Chains A and B, each alone.
Chain A
Amino acid sequence: MPSLLFCGPKLAACGIVLSIWGVIMLSMLGIFFSAKSAVLIEDVPFTEEDIRDDKNPPQNIYGLYNQVGINCFIAAAIYVGVGAVSLCQVRLNKRQEYMVT
């Protein structure tokens, strides 16, 4: 089986840091979007039609908020995966270090 190691120790460490940050920040963003925070209004992809043609305001906007929130949670889950891969790389690097010396 060819070696599963494809990045060096520094890149793997960066990967772990980035994924931890990504998980925490994206999940918090997801929570805030689900809570319909007003500060994040600019980040929600609404258009003029959404506001004008809304039969039951502001449910359109709320629906968009929820959508973006779910996107953030999915991205956080992907970062969990990235973090797991980086962790494996770090372990493999450590093992290789032991074998060489």
Chain B
Amino acid sequence: MGFRSEEMCLAQLFLQSGSAYDCISELGEMGLVEFRDLNPSVSSFQRRFVSEIKRCEEMERILGYLLREIRKANLAVPEAEIPPVAPAPKNVLEIMEQLQRLEVELSEVAKNKEKLQRNLLELTEYTHMLRITHTFMHSRSRHEALGPQYEEFPSLETESVTGCTSMQRLGAKLGFISGLIQRVKVEAFERMLWRVCKGYTILSYAEVDESLADLDTGEINKNVVFLISFWGDQIGQKVQKICDCYHCHLYPHPETDEERADVMDSLRTRIHDLQNVLHRTEDYLKQVLHKASESAHSWVLQVKKMKAIYHILNLCSFDVTNKCLIAEVWCPVSDLANLRRTLEEGSRKGDATVPSFVNRIPSSDTPPTLLRSNKFTSGFQSIVEAYGVGDYREASPAPYTIITFPFLFAVMFGDLGHGSVMTLFALWMVLTEKDHKRRRPGNQVWTTFFDGRYIILMMGLFSIYTGLIYNDCFSKSLNIFGSAWSVKAMFTKQEWTNETLQTNALLTLDPNVSGVFSGPYPLGIDPIWNMAVNRLTFLNSYKMKMSVIIGVIHMSFGVVLSVFNHLHFRQKFKIYLLFLPELLFLLCLFGYLVFMIFYKWLAFSVRDSQLAPSILIHFINMFLMQESATTPLYPGQIGLQVFLVVVALLSVPVLLFGRPLYLYWLHHGGKSLGVHRVCLCSCGYERVRRVSEEDLSPSVVHDEEEGLSDSGGPREFDFGDVFLHQAIHTIEYCLGCVSNTASYLRLWALSLAHAQLSEVLWAMVMRLGLRMSSRLGVLFLVPVFSVFALLTISILLVMEGLSAFLHALRLHWVEFQNKFYSGTGVKFAPFDFSLLPSVFEQDGLL
């Protein structure tokens, strides 16, 4: 991980047409370079390799269908151990053929299966119908024994030979219609029948126990078998129409009992056969899918790589002879040797007669920014980049963030117990990271936590440290070294008696009495403060001063970092005209405040603590240049303060006018420096001058405010623009100093909130469990502790943790980085197969 981003160069790759595919495949595996689009005006349909990309997309479509079928069959897709490389163009046809054959086979098998299932359903329904109408018939015949049921139909002859159909009576024939209907429609069906046929039909129905699937809609619902006996042909037609209306499945009703028995037998055998065939079909389908799933993953990868390579080939341009492709890439200078080697490898693989080569070319465009990072630093790098990617070759704040960010978090979070829980959680994630990386679960929240595991580990470790300093562990203080305060001394020195105890609710330990206070606690805050009523008064003063001190140090560090940028971009004038006034302003005012804080801490002891003046009053009086009524902190204070204020006030106009005036002077005749051409180009890129007429001048002056220009000619120096810019910067900086210093007080505020929340949680939850005096109190303590643990994790760790994380991040982004970082660069996005997303992974198919 670097101090500043890597040096990049623009390079031209000359690729032979024959081996271009292989070279780019090798480059994709290595992930070294970023390709530029050389045909920006060409639409995607007019590019050269459109047909190949279309072919890839066709293969992707088939693969998508295949993966969906595999998922429907609940098969797993095993991953290959070694990811496959992109296939050579001659092998592509093979893969395409295989995929097409698979697709045809699968769709056929699926169609057959559906047909068979439909048949099976019909046969099953028919069987149910026959069985249930059989019971109708028999029950009806049993009923007849008791007496006539219906007026129209006197008791039927229960001749078992003829059965009960085709009764000749009044010249009309009794007809039967039987079938199945969905249960939800039965009542409406019955009512419709009654209304239409006016009692000339009899409907008997019974529910089928088994719920059958409706193949058209795929729902599983209950069906009802019905038997309609009607009288008359016309009624029959009406009934038929009504049945059609309600989407009933009608089946022929057998005339006699023997017929019924025969039909049922044949149905049984047919169902049995059909089930066999269906099983075989499913087995075959599973087999085909299983075989396909073995190579599915490598096909997906190969197609993805192929498509990516053709996209890149589309970005290149052909030279006039049409024999070689030219590609323009951004490449880190340190990787040029690797690049050459990769191209040789690719040419070798592609059996090219002439090898491809690299040519570095000068460029006036700003290269993208590359900062290499490992698994530890990548988390911190990403939180810096979330604010903005650094400009090319700008000093990066990321290395310092590794320490300052967890530290500022810990100042706001400081609790030994919570810090240890956080550390253990992060340690678990770090130690099992190989497993988690392999599994790749989809939960977004978990992925965020997992990617930040090293950040969380650092935050936890620092929180343990600040927890020791604040002496706070789950809101209780630890007495490691023995408290320095002694209550007994108040009694032995006759300050307090028993009567004092009985008459006063609150008593103050006086450190001026000898023996009461025996010196400061070795590490952190004395544990006796945990029991003191005026604890917050003491801690507030301490934490506020600490926040201001940390803030001023952090901001000064930011201002000092800008020196490195000025030195690197060879803008030495900025050190004198920007850095110096900024630093003087900050240190003269707020550095002096920090000095006063330390002075008051060191100079005033317990004896004269009553006389110690308020620093804030002195600070305000410094600006008002008033004689304060109180005695000075130290001799010569007035004089020093006036001097500091004058220096700070003088640095403002230097900051305001310095740079614009200097650049104006430079532009309008700075001959003494020997610079003939003021080359104005964008921030920071050391340009090789192409115009070599006046290349005697040693230094090239850059002005980062002017933006891009073309090579050679000096731009119009717009004094108004520069001055306005500088005025905005000055106002922002000076007012920002005040507001940013106050902003650091959030370190105090959040640590106070955390401590109070922690105390409230203990007092309201844990104390209830501990104060139970009876033996049953133990059983109460167990669930109380679980509630305490859950609330600790959810409120104090998650909520407060996120809050402190956010505020620490804000302090870095705004208060620290706006002193030196511009963050307007473009990130280097190399062509790397492993970084390309897979469409199927996003759909969750893989």
Contact = CB atoms under 8 A, between A and B. Distances in A.
Interface string A65-94: 001100110110011001000000000000
Interface string B760-788: 00010011001111010111011001100
Contact of B785 (A22, A42, A67): A22
A8 interface: no
A44 B781 CA distance: 13
Given A45-B773, A71-B777, A40 B476 contact: yes
Interface in B466-502: 474, 476-477, 479
B771 A45 contact: yes
Contact of B789 (A21, A29, A68, A78): A21
Contact of B778 (A45, A64, A71): A71
B337 interface: no
A11 interface: no
Nearest to A15: B786
A75 B778 contact: yes
A75 B773 contact: no
Taking each of B477, B767, B770, B789, which has the highest tally of chain A beta carbons within 10 Å of its own beta carbon? B770
A43 B771 CA distance: 6
B761 to A, nearest CB: 13
A71 B772 contact: yes
A44 B771 CA distance: 6
Counting chain B CB atoms within 10 Å of each CB, which of A21, A41, A82 scores highest? A21
B530 interface: yes
Nearest to A37: B479
A78 B67 CA distance: 50
B777 A22 contact: no
Contact of A43 (B477, B770, B779, B785): B770
Interface in B736-778: 763, 766-767, 770-773, 775, 777-778
A5 interface: no
- Which of A21, A29, A38, A71 has the most chain B CB atoms closer than 10 A to its own CB? A71
B531 interface: yes
Size band of the A side of the interface? 20 to 34
Given A18-B789, A38-B531, A39-B479, A79 B782 contact: yes
A39 B785 contact: no
B527 interface: yes
A7 interface: no
Nearest to B768: A43
A12 interface: no
Contacts of B767: 42-43
A78 B782 contact: yes
Contact of A75 (B479, B763, B781, B789): B781
Contact of A71 (B479, B530, B770, B786): B770
A79 B789 CA distance: 13
B784 to A, nearest CB: 9
A78 B779 CA distance: 9
A75 to B, nearest CB: 4
Contacts of A21: 421, 789
Interface string A19-55: 0011001100100000001111111110000000000
A45 B781 contact: no
Nearest to B528: A38
A75 B782 contact: yes
Contacts of A43: 766-767, 770-771
B476 A22 contact: no
Contacts of A22: 782, 785-786, 789
A39 B527 contact: yes
B764 to A, nearest CB: 12
Given A39-B479, A39-B531, A26 B773 contact: no
Interface residues of B, number: 24
Given A22-B786, A43-B771, A71 B476 contact: no
Contacts of B785: 22, 25-26, 75, 79
A11 to B, nearest CB: 13
Nearest to A75: B781
Nearest to A73: B778
A67 B773 contact: yes
B422 to A, nearest CB: 13
Interface string B780-807: 0110011001000000000000000000
A38 B483 CA distance: 11
A45 B772 contact: yes
A18 B786 contact: yes
A4 to B, nearest CB: 22
A45 B777 CA distance: 11
A41 B531 contact: yes
Contact of A39 (B530, B770, B773): B530
Which of B763, B771, B772 is most buried by chain A, counting CB atoms within 10 A of its CB? Answer: B771
Contacts of A38: 479, 531
Contacts of A29: 770
B778 A74 contact: yes
A34 to B, nearest CB: 13
B781 A72 contact: yes
B477 A39 contact: yes
Nearest to A43: B770
A22 B767 CA distance: 15
A70 to B, nearest CB: 8
Nearest to A42: B767
Nearest to B775: A71
Nearest to A71: B778
A89 B279 CA distance: 37
A101 B527 CA distance: 56
A55 to B, nearest CB: 17
Contacts of B772: 45, 71
Residue among A41, A42, A74, A75 with max Cβ neighbours from chain B (10 Å): A75
A9 B735 CA distance: 56
A60 B778 CA distance: 20
Nearest to B76: A101
Contacts of A82: 782
A20 B771 CA distance: 23
A8 B467 CA distance: 36
A47 to B, nearest CB: 10
Contacts of B477: 39
A41 B476 CA distance: 11
A71 B778 CA distance: 5
Contacts of A67: 773
A44 B772 CA distance: 9
A41 B786 CA distance: 22
A21 B422 CA distance: 13
A55 B772 CA distance: 24
Give the residue among A22, A37, A39, A78 with the most B Cβ atoms within 10 A. Answer: A39
Contacts of A39: 476-477, 479, 527, 530-531
Interface of A: 18, 21-22, 25-26, 29, 37-45, 64, 67-68, 71-72, 74-75, 78-79, 82
28 contacts: A18-B786, A21-B421, A22-B782, A25-B474, A25-B785, A26-B781, A37-B479, A38-B479, A38-B531, A39-B476, A39-B477, A39-B531, A41-B531, A43-B770, A44-B770, A44-B771, A45-B770, A45-B772, A67-B773, A71-B772, A71-B775, A71-B777, A71-B778, A71-B781, A72-B770, A72-B781, A74-B778, A82-B782
List 7 tightest A-B contacts by C-beta distance, closest first: A45-B771, A43-B770, A75-B781, A74-B778, A45-B773, A71-B778, A78-B782
Interface of B: 421, 474, 476-477, 479, 527, 530-531, 763, 766-767, 770-773, 775, 777-779, 781-782, 785-786, 789
Given A21-B789, A39-B527, A45-B773, 19 more contacts: A22-B785, A22-B786, A25-B785, A41-B531, A43-B770, A43-B771, A45-B771, A45-B772, A68-B770, A71-B775, A71-B781, A72-B770, A74-B778, A75-B778, A75-B782, A78-B782, A79-B782, A79-B785, A82-B782
